Amino acid sequence: MNKNYLKTVSPSILGTIVVFMGFLSTLIPPSYYKYLLNEENYSFLNFRLYFMVLVCLLSFILGCRLAYRFKQFPIIGSEEIAIDILTLISAALAILRLKDMVSNLSLSFVNEAIFGDFTNRQFFLRSTVSSVFQNSSLGWVKGFSFSMICLGWLNIFKRAVSFKSYKGIILVASTVIITISYLVEALILQGRGAIFEIFVAILMSYISVISSKVEFDWKKIIKIAAFVAIISISIFLAISVRRSMIDEAKSPLESIMYLIVGYFASAYNRLALVLSNSLVIPNQGTMYNSLLNILSPPFSNQFSFLKIGDLIGLSEPVVGTDAWIESFSSVSTTGLNPAFNWFTIFGIVYSDFGFYYPVYFLLYGILSGYAWKNYMQKSFLGIALYPWIVLSIFAWWGAENVYIAKRETVIIILIAVFHCALSVYIGIIRRK
């Protein structure tokens, strides 16, 4: 195995790259920044901001280093059969989830969300679709689907089975069904997140395969990085245009710069105001933005005793669509451009934990480092969880929530544990 390829996507390196790019975005001249976004640039040469973010990064890297000492998640001999079973179950659940969604929205609504005029109904369409997904009893299926997209494409890329065989046809068909269902959900929601989730899941599966077959080559790494950057920016801009966020009064180049600066540089500008206590994030101080998957984990709607937040006396947060809408209002009250509501993970964690934020990033680093170690060893947990970790790191610019705090993180870990148990059970049956 050529681990040099895998080292280029380690959590420490990815985190450092994201922070470096974030710092660069704060160096946009204040006059040009104000011209584009019509708001003051508070992040320009803000050394308090730089110090805080660097402390977060170093805590994260330290956590990663500590995790490398942990034992690997177990790999069971019968796991291939378990993966086949889980892939079929996931495909069936993905179809049921889409059917449930369409029945709750109606085909006409779905058609409008994908092909209709998005100009003046953006909030209505997205909030309606989001509410349906959140309230669905099959909402947890998304994390399951993500896991199986990673595993399915990994087996396709490494040609684990003959595609002409019965088993190969089932593998390819199931993986494609899961991927398409995930993509359809993204199109209906008009969300960048789900599309990037598919993209990163497939990309990380491919990197895992080529690390075993191809000699390390910096030129190849640069080509892959350039390809990823071009595709990512294209997807990002295409969906932004679809959301009618282009200002017709600006030239095409200015419109593109408006979107790039508005989403990325402005996030650090909002972070600067969070650090000065001038900007209040929805649910600030409740810890729900940073620890949703722990305080209110998957299935907690069915089993109230799982809601740890309730048990320890935390007030119910503004959740889902309501929190998303309220985040725009929070930005607007500070005199910033209300079109952009990204606060960065650093701002959100600081608003929840104050000066204890390094502890959060230390634990986050431990989880990320452990996932990467298992990804290096190609265990189910690593292949399924680490792409999600990669997404969470790229989302440090973030919206009104923290990506690693999404419930999918817990679902993926639970699926890995269930897969391990299922593999053990199959092994026991085989020996009888």
Q: What is the pLDDT of residues 296-314, one digit of tens each?
A: 777 766 666 667 777 766 6
Closest C-alpha to 382, from 72, 9, 87: 72
Query: Which pLDDT value is given to residue 110?
Result: 63
* Segment 19-34 mean pLDDT: 91
Query: Which pLDDT value is given to residue 1?
Result: 47
Highest mean pLDDT among 15-24, 126-135, 199-208, 281-290: 15-24
Sequence-distant contacts of 272-279: CB under 8 A, at least 24 apart: 272/42, 272/43, 272/46, 272/49, 273/42, 273/334, 273/336, 274/343, 274/347, 274/350, 274/351, 275/48, 275/49, 275/52, 275/347, 275/350, 276/42, 278/334, 279/330, 279/331, 279/334, 279/336, 279/343, 279/347
pLDDT at 119 over 80: no
Q: What is the pLDDT of residues 231-273, one digit of tens each?
A: 777 766 666 665 555 555 566 677 778 877 877 888 899 999 9
Q: How many CA atoms lie within 13 A of 249 on its CB side?
A: 2
Asked whether 87 and 175 are in contact (CB, 8 A), the reply is yes
Q: In the structure encoding, which two tokens stand for residue 156, read together? A: 């396709």
Q: Domain locations in the chain?
A: 3-431
Highest mean pLDDT among 16-30, 93-107, 190-204: 16-30
Residue given tokens 């002409």 in the structure block: 164
Rounded-to-integer distance, Cα 319 and Cα 367, Å: 25
Rounded-to-integer distance, Cα 10 and Cα 389, Å: 10
Residue 118: band (very low, low, confident or very high) from pLDDT cuts 50, 70, 90:
low
* Burial annotation 43-54 (CB, 10 A radius, 16+ → b, else e): bbebeebbebbe
Neighbours of 349 (CB within 10 A): 27
Q: What is the pLDDT of residues 101-117, one digit of tens each?
A: 777 666 666 666 666 55
Closest C-alpha to 60, from 312, 416, 368: 368
